[in-house]
Copies of this chain bind each other. A is one copy, B any other.
């Protein structure tokens, strides 16, 4: 029962160009674990006609309508709706639109959101299937309340940043020596929150968790991630054995579709699944994802529902560029929605940032707010050129090696 045994990240990368004189482009990304990106790209092409020859003002002027157009395309809806391949493609397209919008406004995305008045923010959200839990009026009220103390919280972010935790120390398959070395380095760099991957072998998990807990001491925070490896009874048994290492949460214990089987924290594929997890009191923490959900639009609705239920949001990150994206959302969440840092932190994984034009800046284990205009989704030109399928240098070598 292994989930992601051989990931080799690749990404669908959407570029939106316009005929405006500013020459700005919007960049959108969603990644996969390797194979499958070609399927996502195919879906992006199927959605493209919704964007081609449209005016950006018209799109963002009726963003809810545009979101609905993409997610409820009369024919494509069948192969979703709002899940799997089409929803990943939707995220990539919408991420590009948000990037372009923020650039046109000359602001980083988080600041665009922070400065937006509540009515406009709410007009970006599709409340379909949510109104039994969150109406447009609820959303406005939450955002209105969030105006109080906003300026101070923005200042706090700019000076201190948003607290992060690291997943880079304890992947499955690392030797004990590697684990120890990485933990030591992370402690030296000021990290106080650590996540460990579990679920392949309970004895091995116990040994690794003990090792890490010994390294970091009893006061620091430890989280565990099982990547959907267990059935419900198995999860209960396994976790009872790992409880002695005092994990703050256990992530993805079982199928992401199993609302009723969930116990703690989950990456979900759309706002309807999140809604029920909240209704069912099945979550103690909530993870958002900028590449899996329908971009900023859908994440806004999840942030607002989390606030309504007073559940802390702790974004999932990693992959390709996910750290770059989610930092915008969680900084906005603190400034305008949750107004709290209690029990909150954003995942950090130390890889692939070198390909991005505006990589994350971590200082004292915190995300420092990005200051460049846009959604930080733009990649370096030379990285794109090198990794483009099938003509990039990296692919040419790989494909040639396969032939031999």
Chain A residues within 8 Å of B, Cβ to Cβ: 1-8, 32-36, 38-40, 42-43, 46, 72-88, 127-132, 228, 231-234, 254-261, 269-270, 272-273, 275-276, 279-280
The reply to whether B40 and A36 contact each other, CB–CB distance below 8 Å, is: no
Contacts of A130 in B (CB 8 A): 231
Contacts of A73 in B (CB 8 A): 35
The reply to whether B231 and A78 contact each other, CB–CB distance below 8 Å, is: no
State A83–B87 Cα separation when bound (angstroms): 11
Contacts of A32 in B (CB 8 A): 75, 78-79
The reply to whether B33 and A77 contact each other, CB–CB distance below 8 Å, is: yes
Q: List 8 A-B contacts (CB under 8 A).
A: A8-B75, A32-B79, A36-B86, A39-B85, A81-B256, A83-B83, A131-B232, A131-B234
The reply to whether B33 and A39 contact each other, CB–CB distance below 8 Å, is: no
- Measured CB to CB, the closest approach of chain B to A90, in angstroms, equals 11
Contacts of A40 in B (CB 8 A): 79
The reply to whether A78 and B128 contact each other, CB–CB distance below 8 Å, is: no
Contacts of A78 in B (CB 8 A): 4, 7, 32-33, 36
Q: Which of A6, A38, A88, A128 has the most CB of B within 10 A?
A: A128
- Measured CB to CB, the closest approach of chain B to A33, in angstroms, equals 4
Contacts of A3 in B (CB 8 A): 72, 74, 77
Contacts of A269 in B (CB 8 A): 83
The reply to whether B36 and A79 contact each other, CB–CB distance below 8 Å, is: yes
In the A-B complex, list the 4 residue pairs whose CB atoms are closest, starting with the nearest: A84-B84, A85-B85, A132-B232, A129-B255
